[in-house]
Amino acid sequence: MRALRFPAMQSTAPTHVLITGATSGIGYELAKLFAAAGKPLILVARLEDRLAAVAAELRAAHGVEVDVVAVDLFTPEGAQEVIRRVQAAGRVVDVLVNNAGQGEWGLFVETDLQRQLDIIHLNVVVLVTLTRHFMAEMVARDDGKILHLGSVFSKIPAPYMSVYAATKAFVLSFGEALINELKDTKVTTTVLMPGATDTDFFHKAGAVHTRVYGESPLSNPTDVARDGYDALMSGKSSIVSGLRNKIQATMADLLPLTVDAAIARSVNEPITPGEHTRTEATHEASRQEREALGGGRGE
């Protein structure tokens, strides 16, 4: 078997955790966990004001060093700009958290093509670009960890969210392949697969009117982040967060894909206005990001 070979790399610089999509939801909660563990952070997101606020909060609460990179990862040059800024600052990344991601609700043929291509870029191209760069450095040092944010839809085709689910299937396949390729190194990758979670995801996806958002219990992003953090630190290749989601994922593995798709469609279908039990995320950081976006879409 061909072993991975990169030039040996030595560095005495302190190591950092780089987290994309760090200003709300699961990314924000992961940043808090790493900060509580005393790890210097590099936070990446689109909104400068939100980045500054989160960085100040973490510095004050945990006394850690926090760098911020305000960049639009939807742009073709976004991921490379993150790499350039990290290199220019002389930072060494020993933990990469590929958290940034979005979806788009609707029947595929009726959705905007450019929006779907942007989602593929953010969820797949950016993730692959950052992984390739920082993984090479990790392998050269023979040390490092990478956490990818997948979804229970990594295992399930999802009508009304078809492109999003397909990108998350890519993330799971990619992560599992890398684990095998890295088995002779001390570098690990982990795929975190949450179900529907109390974040700003549904607003950005235009999916607040769906059955899953209006009627289903949502996972707490704090709990999801803890599951991902623990799995990453223990070197697990993947984890489905939450008992209900674990059962759903197990059933998905056993059922034909046509049945999986039918079940996913039923939860993604719209419900009658007025039947909603919720209209916005109750997670505080996600609520603040919604306000900062003014109802628009961000990273």
d(CA 44, CA 269): 33
Nearest to 144 by CA among 32, 64, 233: 233
Verify whether residue 168 is a known catalytic residue. yes
Q: Collapse the DSSP code of 226 into the 3-class scheme (helix H, G, I; strand E, B; otherwise coil) and give the result.
A: helix
Write down the residue that tokens 């990594």 correspond to.
154
Write down the residue that tokens 């610089």 correspond to.
13
DSSP per residue, the chain: -PPP--------SPEEEEEESTTSHHHHHHHHHHHHTT--EEEEES-HHHHHHHHHHHHHHH---EEEEE--TTSTTHHHHHHHHHHHTT-EEEEEEE-------S-GGGS-HHHHHHHHIIIIIIHHHHHHHHHHHHHHHT-EEEEEE--GGGSS--TTSHHHHHHHHHHHHHHHHHHHHTTTSSEEEEEEE--SBSSSHHHHTT-TTBHHHHHS--B-HHHHHHHHHHHHHHT-SEEE-SHHHHHHHHHHHHS-HHHHHHHHHHHHSB--TT--S-SS---HHHHHHHHHHTTS---
28, 164, 213, 229: which one is catalytic?
164
Verify whether residue 164 is a known catalytic residue. yes
32, 155, 168, 204: which one is catalytic?
168
With beta carbons less than 8 A apart as the criterion, state whether 39 and 64 touch.
yes
Beta-sheet pairing, 92-98 with 66-70: unpaired
Positions marked active-site: 164, 168
